[in-house]
Amino acid sequence: MALEEKREKRPPVTPMMIEEEAALRNGSRGLPPGPWAEAAGPRPRTTERHIAVHKRLVLGFAVSILALLAVTMIAVMLSVRFEECGAAADGPPRAGGNGSLSGAARQPPSVGQPPGRPEEEARGGEATAEEKEEEEEEWQRRREPPPWARPRLPRHLRPLHYNLMLSAFMENFTFSGEVNVELEVRNASRYIVLHAHRMHIEAVRVAEDKLAGGVQVARSFLYPQTQVFVVVLSRSLEVQRSYNLKIIYNALIENELLGFFRSSYVLHGERRFLGVTQFSPTHARKAFPCFDEPIYKATFKISIRHQATYLSLSNMPVETSVFEEDGWVTDHFSQTPLMSTYYLAWAVCNFTYRETVTKSGVVVRLYARPDAIRRGSGDYALNITRRLIEFYEDYFKVPYSLPKLDLLAVPKHPYAAMENWGLSVFVEQRILLDPSISSISYLLDVTMVIVHELCHQWFGDLVTPVWWEDVWLKEGFAHYFEFVGTDYLYPGWNMEKQRFLTDVLHEVMLLDGLASSHPVSQEVQQATDIDRVFDWIAYKKGAALIRMLANFMGHSVFQMGLQDYLTIHKYGNAARNDLWNTLSKALKRVGKSVNIQEVMDQWTLQMGYPVITILGNETTDNVIVISQERFVYDSDAKPKDPALGDNSYLWQIPLTIAVGNTSHISSEAIIWVSNKSEHHRIPALEEASWLLGNINQTGYFRVNYDIRNWRLLINQLTRNHEVISVSNRAGLIDDAFNLARAGYLPQNIPLEIIRYLSEEKDFLPWHAASRALYPLDKLLDRTENYNIFNEYILRQVASMYLKLGWPTNNLNKSLVQASYQHEELRREVIMLACSFGNKHCHQQAATLISDWISSNRNRIPLNVRDIVYCTGVSLMDEDVWEFIWMKFHSTTAVSEKKILLEALTCSDDRNLLNRLLNLSLNSEVVLDQDAIDVIIHVARNPHGRDLAWKFFREKWKILNARYGEALFMNSKLISGVTEFLNTEDELRELKNFIKSYEEGAAASFSRAVETVEANVRWQRLYKEELFQWLRKSLTR
């Protein structure tokens, strides 16, 4: 529940007050500088002879003083009157000076004004370089860094409440602000240190909360190295007292992707602009001075002044709007509950909206471009949001905490979406959906992004991690609930039990199998480390560990534990041990005693994951040997921490195991494996029986077997694959391909497993095979004998391709078809057939493209449009590329725009690929967030891989400047461009490039080097073995 802060009203800081304070500090009487100040000073003695002259001077001086006093009084009266008028225009005065925006907050800064050196009088004394050096030398004598040079904010102050008043000047993309922060003092100090970055500080004042008098500011300065603003006071702040810090500032509405930035769109031929925020994880400090760490929760009262042609949005509803005669309006928003700075948000735009209301009365609105709202492109997202809020309220037994939730669809954003409390921001292509031209896979993407962000309203916003080392506490849960929430919306899709495996588990194991991986909970010391923890390890490994935990606890007990966790920690912060303790207590309530912390610390504090090897003991009946070791793709790779060799890794592993034969599989049993090697007795283990570990792939580990058991499993799949569950069939395919790639298995085993696919009617195993074949295909697609591998895959796909055929045009049908699994299977098989060169597939794609060009009517079935576009561009002439390019520019549907752009990267023409790469950096042609996808997709094209790699190196400075601060973007780009480099020359080029550009993205480049080294190693050790087996297999 939000507490209303009560503070006495205090006059706003004005430049005159600051000048008076400065004058008093300088020893004068507050008179303006010049001759009058000199006249008021001590004068030399006069002689009798000069008395008459002196009297006349004194008389003149007295008259001048009286005139000056009269002028000053009139000026003060006019100033007071002006302030009263300003207050009246903006509405009733608010506590803490929120009644009117200060002069600084109301006047636009000059266009493009950079943060510069302000006047000393307006800052309470700008620190000189000498003063800063003296301060730092003093701290050096104490043998500790000064508080502003430390990676974390000092703990002696705590913000209780912010009053933030902004004026947004969209005509010149600047904004000004006044922030009043109520501070609680925990330890006496004469320093106030808070975050501020890339802004111009105009004035600062500190006052005791309940006294009219101020605390004198000795000096203040920005310290860019740690992105903080330092206020040095003339005396220490007293413990357990409250103070008010007022800062007036201005800054740019940046043309980038972080902080308070601008975006634009075209409507009826006119370019329109909007301003929106992206503060996570450390960019609120670019929009207002604040304590920008998640532990510093406070309440916020925001006012935004803008032109009346725009509207403003923030986390809370508008409380009052005050209209001015000059065409400006100030929106005053309700006070927020306790929250962290990173999910505070606001926007200034001229969007329109549609609205719905949940059963509990939460108002849900979707804001977007007027033409998108008019077409109904946001209706799907709006409707599922209402249902999902109701689902989460029921599942967590904790109500949604705010009166409203706005969904904002913006053209430009660094991420798919951001979970700002009450104002979630989405990039358009992850929330707008036109049923007439959107595929099932596009609908699924939109659905899961919305499910993810809504989960954050509880995990992240209501309960926030103490520090970024446990970012997985919010991101892992949100990623896991993507699948749980989608199952609620579409129960027949089996997302958590099936699609989770291919889209999360299998994908993150690729990354976590590198020696350069990191634990899901990792130490974060400074701001530059924070970006590093936002990767797929936090998101996907976090989700996989949560799923494993839910399965061995039991879903109902797990749900009960989550309800307790949210109830106990709501409006506060929590660390991983808080979660472990709550879940352990939930288990105790049902009579189970498991120390969750002891188990899960091994999974969250160690990097990587184990491979379990199950061997039959030939000397003892019904006894098997189970061993564990850390799985790594490249055994030659140097471990990240040399002190911790792979032999030191141990996990407590909940291994589920079952015994099967040609017609039956036993019920699963659970074995907790905690040693390097263990012997276990398995009943009913007969000669012809096979073992299967990690039932339904609920555990975060791989399972290997002796060759005899692999042969029995392959035989079972060939004879009657349905004895083994769909999830385990997919798991066997993924494990086999990756074990072979890392050298744990012969190269032929995975290729023998997929022979059974001609009889496989379920989507998931096909999807697993397609994903597992993809990296192998990229390792081979530039080799002399690639056609041998290509032919083998086509043989496995051919019969199912003929059985399933092509979908009919379904423009008049419901987007969400009843047979989702069947349509996704058909799509997967068509994609494999076209990718590997099936002639009928190529002919069908070319026919559909030709029909579109000749008739100007797109009759290509929605669910395979991306496949057809890509295949047509790769096979047909330059005219087709130009046609797709034209359609990319003309379409307004964001889902269509995305797949048209990606199709352009499929060309075999290197000139067209180079042209596209160069155009990708033009923001007027390709949105900033889409340029990365263009470069990566060209790199995946064997005809463009070297072009993308060359372009990446030549444009690195530009790319790093544009994306370096945005989470994921640089790491996604580096990985996407380098992951399929596989020659010694390319490895050498990569290492030389890193030496030239050592700054930034070190972790991403480290992973890139290890990946390419593993590719080169595989080519050297296993490529020929694979081709020999393929040749023999094709001649049989």
Where in the sequence numbering do the catalytic residues fall? 453
First-last CA distance in the chain? 73
Gyration radius of the chain's alpha carbons: 33
Contact between 680 and 626 under an 8 Å Cβ cutoff? The reply is: yes
Burial 612-647 (b: 16+ CB within 10 A, else e): bbbbbeeeeeeebebbbbbbbbbeebebbeeeeeee
Tokens encoding 277: 């925020």
Instruction: Provide the Cα torsion 727, 728, 730, 731; round to 10°.
Output: 120
Q: Give dist(CA 727, CA 941) in Å, integer.
A: 31
Q: What residues contact residue 440 under an 8 Å CB cut-off, 6+ apart?
A: 815, 816, 817, 820, 823, 824, 827, 862, 863
- Residue 215 DSSP SS3: strand
Q: What angle do CA 305, 5, 96 make, to 5 degrees?
A: 45
Sign of the dihedral through C-alpha 146, 149, 152, 156: positive
Pick from 775, 774, 872, 880: nearest CA to 828: 774
Tokens encoding 198: 């890339």
Contact between 965 and 258 under an 8 Å Cβ cutoff? The reply is: yes
The type of residue at 618 is E
In this structure, what DSSP letter does residue 261 have? E
Q: Give dist(CA 627, CA 945) in Å, integer.
A: 40
**Which pairing describes strands 174-185 and 242-252: parallel, antiparallel, or unpaired?**
antiparallel
**Which pairing describes strands 318-323 and 328-333: parallel, antiparallel, or unpaired?**
antiparallel
Tokens encoding 203: 């004035």
- Residue 908 DSSP SS3: coil
Q: Give dist(CA 676, CA 618) in Å, integer.
A: 20
The type of residue at 516 is S
Q: In what order do the strands lie in the sheet with 423-427?
A: 352-357, 363-368, 404-410, 423-427, 417-418
**Which pairing describes strands 463-465 and 572-574: parallel, antiparallel, or unpaired?**
parallel
Tokens encoding 831: 């994609």
Contact between 421 and 403 under an 8 Å Cβ cutoff? The reply is: no
Q: Give dist(CA 830, CA 758) in Å, integer.
A: 14
Contact between 274 and 287 under an 8 Å Cβ cutoff? The reply is: no
